[in-house]
Chains A and B, each alone.
Chain A
Amino acid sequence: MANKLIVSLSPHVHSGDSVQKNMYWVCIALIPALLCSFISFGVGAIITTAISVAACVFFEWAINKFMLKNPKCTVCDGSAILTGILLAFNMPSNIQPWIIIVGALFAIGVVKMTFGGLGCNLFNPALAGRAFLLISFPVDMTTWPNPGQGFGTYLDAETGATPLALAKQLFKTTGAQHEEALRQITSLEWSDMFFGNRGGCLGEVCAAALILGLIILLVKKVITWHIPVSIIATVAVLSSILYVSNPTAYASAPVELLSGGLFLGAIFMATDYVTSPMSPKGQLVYGVAIGVLTVIIRTYGAYPEGMSFAILIMNAFVPLINNKFKPKRFGEVPAKK
């Protein structure tokens, strides 16, 4: 026979799924939230995201080429682009460009590439980048622009308190300050918070757009429901319990759910493949633990927002969760009548 046959082991067909497809679908699912952010905060949202993506891609490319001397293009898998978008989504839209670049260097250079690149990092690079910036530049990272100042708004944006900061005041202060916070928090419009008409990080403000992103991810089977649903449900239940126990000291469940980075974190950050558990049971445990930690940090901690720290803490527990919570083996499911 003229041409030799290829011999390999089964299976001989493949689903056609790829790393790139998954990464790009997550990026697509983030576009609605980016558009909403543009509407709320103006062109600053787009500029910040663009700088962050460019910096992340550049650092991954440079480290891969000049430090690791790896001839393969690891930027092509799309994970650096995604990290860039998510890092930007976790910052105020009026932040200085050099701070973004420092964050990107930490996220890609320290958290991702030093551990071995894609698939090997222990912590979510974008979140670790945000945590690094929050600790290093607490003022810049927590002066949030007010929404609705026109599409040209960037570094010149007026800033104000976010609903979560009000919730913190509600719990930590007394007297006139407490009364003021209570008045403001009860006057918050549910629809404003749901559709992104509030202050906050650039990607987190529009819950409606983030939920649309969740639907895209679920339909395209990029993620399963376990992690986002368990986080959101846990926070809803716990904050409801706290609110019912003392409505003047705690924010209500809708405020807790819609006011911070909960949806962004639950849908896009906690579901990061590399840093989340492998079995459905493990994913539920991880989600519930993130929910509990978020409520604890938000209510009793020093920072108004606890989502990113909760996820980072649970990232560290993922190997343990994987060891402890195995998928249900065939033969363990009881007979059904």
Chain B
Amino acid sequence: MKTFRIGGVHPAENKLSANQPIKVAELPKVAVYPMGQHIGAPAKCIVAKGDKVKVGTMIAEAGGFVSAPIFSGVSGTVLKVDTVIDASGYAKPAVYITVEGDEWEPTIDRSEALVTLKDKPELTPEDIVNKIKAAGVVGMGGACFPTHVKLCPPPGAKPEWVIINAVECEPYLTADHRLMLEKADEILVGVDLLMKGGKVTKGFIGIEENKPDAIALLTEKCKANYPNIEVVPLKTKYPQGGEKQLIDAVVARQVPAPPAIPVNVGAIVQNVGTAYAVYEAVMKNKPLFERIVTVTGKSLKQPSNFLTRMGTPMSQLIDACGGLPEDTGKVIGGGPMMGKALVNIEVPICKGSSGVLIMNNKEARRGEPLPCIRCAKCVGACPMGLEPYLLATCSGKQMWEKVEAEEITSCIECGSCQFTCPSNRPMLDLIRMGKQTVMGIIRARQAAAAPKK
């Protein structure tokens, strides 16, 4: 069975909610929409206090090419335009909407009927990309890179395949898994649309073998209707859902160090949730305003998967699972390997919120760091072939030139090094600091070298 070729670790899977069908979450009383929900320029707010909005009304337009518009997931009145602390922990400009009823924009097709490309052969690749762009679709795996940008490769790069990331390698999360089981047909149409939009003829869906039911279901449907799409079962290993690791696992090509991007080796990688969002955007005229969120944790009464309108506070989803347990130590937005610990649970669900994970006091605490014993386990675990012990130590000593020469900018911050370290060393904390500093140095150098106007 295929997998990526360098490093990797095996965290306990803990997919507690894998058998929980997707439930529709209740509407919130007030929905909150931060303006920066994606990589790139923040969206620009186009509503003001007192404006009436419907479900699917645009409330902020894209702030540039690498950006995406934001749509309301509720109907009601704009309460205020203020700031909110989002999952990143920073205060960001945000629109607050008081919810009144549930009135949808009339342009949205709310029927359950499946629409395939055969029904709409007139769609050109440009139409598809424009609709994706207009619907505010971004990568749903968590990175939130605007989807239309990936479908418009830079000159000189020729995409050969669309690779769908259905790996869900983060422990605990099951949102993608449930989506595949419940919306398989829609996902495959979405993949078809992404292939047409990216002008490629071959698609792969990479799924880890810990989801055999999803592999079986999608394989069967591909065989019946989509001969150009191939389901690739992958050996379970973290971080297989990393874009570069997935490409290596599926087509055995490695994306070179930055500034190279996946399309330089011919791959367009999209999350399986993105494929579903693309289907809804293109075929149902439905902009991106809801998503599947896994709410989970060993101490939670009922770990669940919710279809959630964006803007809903996480606390409401936690309440729907039986409430925040007494001994909660940490609430994480996302999975345990790369998710962010939240400062409070009123943070709204955004485009990239794949999960909410509750950890008790004991689980939430790190072990006490001991001296590095140079066991080299971090070197063996690093999926990018770096030397985390060296990057961490040199970053701590502020040796920026050394860490740049050691390719610190290739680090994908997957956390495999820190996960595996027997001495509990806070390696990734230091490496992150080093990486950000070095990237700042590189930008400053480029700016200085650029011709003066």
Binding site for B on A (CB under 8 A): 1, 3, 5-15, 17-19, 21-22, 77, 79, 117-120, 224, 273-274, 276-280, 283, 326-333, 335-337
* Contact indicator A119/B372 (Cβ below 8 Å): yes
Can you list, as one digit per residue, whether each of B424-450 has a CB less than 8 Å from chain A (1) or not (0)?
Answer: 101011001000000000000000000
Choose one: B341, B345, B386; the contact of A329 (CB below 8 Å).
B386
Chain B residue at minimal CB-CB distance from A17: B422
* Contact indicator A335/B252 (Cβ below 8 Å): yes
Query: Given A10-B415, A14-B424, A278-B387, is A329 in contact with B379 using a C-beta cutoff of 8 Å?
Result: no
If over half of A's interface residues share one DSSP class (helix, strand or loop), that class is named, otherwise mixed; here it is loop
Q: Judge whether B342 is part of the interface by a CB distance below 8 angstroms.
A: yes
Query: Given A11-B336, A273-B374, A330-B254, is A19 in contact with B171 using a C-beta cutoff of 8 Å?
Result: no
Q: Which residues of B contact A117 (CB under 8 A)?
A: 371
Q: How large is the interface on B (under 10, 10 to 19, 20 to 34, 35 or more residues)?
A: 35 or more
Q: Judge whether B118 is part of the interface by a CB distance below 8 angstroms.
A: no
* Contact indicator B338/A11 (Cβ below 8 Å): yes
What separation, in Å, do the CA atoms of A10 and B376 have in the docked complex? 21
What separation, in Å, do the CA atoms of A328 and B6 have in the docked complex? 8
* Contact indicator A10/B387 (Cβ below 8 Å): no
Q: Which residues of B contact A332 (CB under 8 A)?
A: 254, 385
What separation, in Å, do the CA atoms of A13 and B344 have in the docked complex? 20
Q: Judge whether B377 is part of the interface by a CB distance below 8 angstroms.
A: yes
* Contact indicator A331/B423 (Cβ below 8 Å): no
Choose one: B361, B379, B384, B416; the contact of A330 (CB below 8 Å).
B384
What separation, in Å, do the CA atoms of A326 and B388 have in the docked complex? 12
Query: Given A6-B330, A327-B386, is A13 in contact with B419 using a C-beta cutoff of 8 Å?
Result: yes
Query: Given A6-B329, A330-B383, is A19 in contact with B373 using a C-beta cutoff of 8 Å?
Result: yes
Show 20 A/B contacts (Cβ-Cβ < 8 Å), sorted by A.
A5-B331, A7-B342, A11-B336, A12-B339, A12-B363, A12-B364, A13-B337, A13-B363, A15-B420, A18-B424, A119-B371, A119-B372, A274-B373, A276-B376, A278-B376, A278-B387, A280-B380, A329-B386, A330-B244, A333-B254
Additional 18 contacts, C-beta under 8 A, given A10-B428, A327-B382, A331-B254:
A5-B341, A5-B345, A6-B364, A7-B341, A9-B341, A12-B330, A12-B339, A12-B357, A13-B11, A14-B366, A15-B420, A17-B420, A18-B424, A19-B373, A22-B373, A329-B385, A330-B255, A335-B252
Closest 8 CB pairs of A and B: A11-B415, A119-B371, A336-B252, A331-B256, A329-B385, A273-B375, A330-B384, A17-B422
* Contact indicator B422/A274 (Cβ below 8 Å): no
What separation, in Å, do the CA atoms of A336 and B363 have in the docked complex? 41
Interface residues of B in 257-302 (CB under 8 A from A): 257, 260, 265
Q: Which residues of A contact B432 (CB under 8 A)?
A: 9
Q: Which residues of A contact B375 (CB under 8 A)?
A: 22, 273
* Contact indicator B389/A278 (Cβ below 8 Å): yes
* Contact indicator B6/A333 (Cβ below 8 Å): yes
